[in-house]
């Protein structure tokens, strides 16, 4: 019998920069991200039972040089996305605006490997913002950062726009994979 966890560990995680002509795929996946976040944000589906979002919120990823969109792949299968930008309040800091891994791949190291790939491509000062209520995400980010930078990160609680969030801050050297 095949052990799915052992099988998953053999899989290759990679990042693929999202080109403009694949934006629609990101928009399709983004609805699942919105659904997952609805647990913490209190969002409801519309009258047709669909979660929606302002598609224009993704436009900077193809118009601004400091916004970088990636698909996360496991082998050749789409597994999620990572949306990276320079933080508007401090452009010297890389910020993970959104990060999403499909449930099929959660708990198998895919997110940790994808984060390692992302920060390895962009050495410098980083931050990750996590809603205060999202304890599972905070636990994930702490474990992922520990795997990358050890104990060399800090966690603070602050307000981002109008939401209380944990800020995880760290410096990333160039990481070879």
Query: How do the domains of the chain map onto residue ranges?
Result: 4-172
**DSSP state letters, the chain:** ---HHHHHHTSPEEEEEPPGGGHHHHHHHHHHHHHHHHHHH-----TTS-----GGGGTHHHH-TTEEEEEEEETTEEEEEEEEEEETTEEEEEEEEEEEE-GGGTTTTHHHHHHHHHHHHS-EEEEEEEETT-HHHHHHHHHHHHHHHTT-EEEEEEEETTEEEEEEEEEE-----
**What φ, ψ does residue 61 adopt, rounded to 5°?**
-70, -10
> Check: CATH 3.40.630.30 for 4-172?
yes
What digits encode the pLDDT tens for the residues 53-105? 889 999 999 999 999 999 999 999 999 999 999 999 999 999 999 999 999 99
What digits encode the pLDDT tens for the residues 15-39? 999 999 999 999 999 999 988 877 7
């Amino acid at each position: 019998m095949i052990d799915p966890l052992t099988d998953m560990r053999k899989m290759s995680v990679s990042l693929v920069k999202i080109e403009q002509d694949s934006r629609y795929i990101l928009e399709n996946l983004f609805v699942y991200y919105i659904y997952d976040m609805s647990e913490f944000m209190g969002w409801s589906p519309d009258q047709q039972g669909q979660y929606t979002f302002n598609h224009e919120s993704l436009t900077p990823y193809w118009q601004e040089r400091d916004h970088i969109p990636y698909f996360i792949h496991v082998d050749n299968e789409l597994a999620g996305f990572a949306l990276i930008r320079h933080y508007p309040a401090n452009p010297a800091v890389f910020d993970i605006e959104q990060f999403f891994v499909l449930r099929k791949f959660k708990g198998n190291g895919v997110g940790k490997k994808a984060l390692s790939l992302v920060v390895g491509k962009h050495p410098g000062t980083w931050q990750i913002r996590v809603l205060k209520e999202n304890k599972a995400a905070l636990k994930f980010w702490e474990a992922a950062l520990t795997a990358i930078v050890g104990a060399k990160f800090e966690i603070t609680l602050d307000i981002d726009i109008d939401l209380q969030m944990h800020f995880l801050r760290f410096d990333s050297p160039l990481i070879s994979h």
